[in-house]
């Protein structure tokens, strides 16, 4: 059975992993006959957003690993413990946590820096030519990992695409239900909730991304 590492970035679209994208990714991995292990950085997340009001909550702080454990039902490890040799592929769901906690793209754009432990893990997948799938805004992280004009997508948002291109990637516009494949890098990306209007639309692209990644493994 193929085994997939999944890197989460918290819990909640505005300050962590997008919950629907994360669950749809895990479901697709199992539906296509593979197993998964979740990972997340063990650190304080950038900030906390009240998902009911959309306002920042300065009264508290949260840990990315602890929050991600909510999605993983406790079955999760620090990303520093991710041994790439034990896995066939990598999946990184979106949510703003991917651009806030896994890297700094949300604040820094073209000057984005990747979390050190996340960078080590993701670059090992890239250097080993093991396939990876990044959804929603997570391809902004992939742009820093792969560079070298790698083809990827976050959908059709021009400003975000410009920032990604400035990191050395080559953005390709893509509809919500489709994927962009860079065969040389073995990288698959899909817009998910960068464009999706409901969970069915997000599912179509994510399922296709996971299926394609597993087919490359």
Burial (CB < 10 A; 0-12, 13-18, 19+), residue 120, is middle
Closest-CA residue to 67 (of 95, 96, 44, 94): 44
For residue 83, the tally of other CB atoms under 10 A from its CB is 10
Q: Where are the beta strands (DSSP E) in 53-192?
A: 76-78, 89-92, 132-135, 151-152, 170-171, 180-182, 187-190
As given in the structure block, the two tokens for residue 136 are 């929603």
CA distance 16 to 67: 8
List the catalytic residues: 136
Task: For the beta carbon of residue 184, count every other beta carbon within 10 angstroms.
Answer: 11
């Amino acid at each position: 059975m193929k085994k997939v590492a999944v890197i989460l970035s918290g819990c909640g679209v505005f300050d962590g992993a997008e919950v629907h994208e994360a669950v749809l990714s895990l479901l697709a991995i199992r539906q296509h006959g593979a197993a998964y292990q979740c990972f997340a950085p063990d650190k304080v997340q950038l900030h906390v957003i009240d998902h009911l009001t959309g306002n920042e909550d300065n009264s508290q702080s949260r840990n990315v690993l602890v929050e991600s454990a909510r999605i993983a039902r406790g079955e999760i490890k620090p990303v520093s413990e991710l041994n790439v040799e034990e896995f066939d592929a990598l999946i990184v769901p979106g949510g703003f946590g991917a651009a806030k906690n896994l890297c700094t793209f949300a604040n820094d754009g073209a000057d984005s820096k990747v979390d050190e432990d996340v960078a080590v893990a993701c670059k090992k997948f890239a250097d080993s030519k093991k396939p990876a799938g990044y959804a929603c805004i997570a391809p902004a992280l992939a742009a820093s990992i792969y560079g070298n004009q790698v083809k990827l997508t976050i959908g059709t948002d021009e400003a975000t695409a410009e920032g990604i291109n400035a990191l050395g990637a080559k953005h390709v516009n893509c509809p919500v239900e489709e994927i962009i494949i860079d065969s040389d890098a073995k990288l698959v990306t899909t817009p998910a909730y960068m464009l999706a209007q409901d969970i069915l639309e997000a599912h179509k692209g994510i399922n296709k991304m996971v299926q394609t990644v597993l087919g490359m493994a």
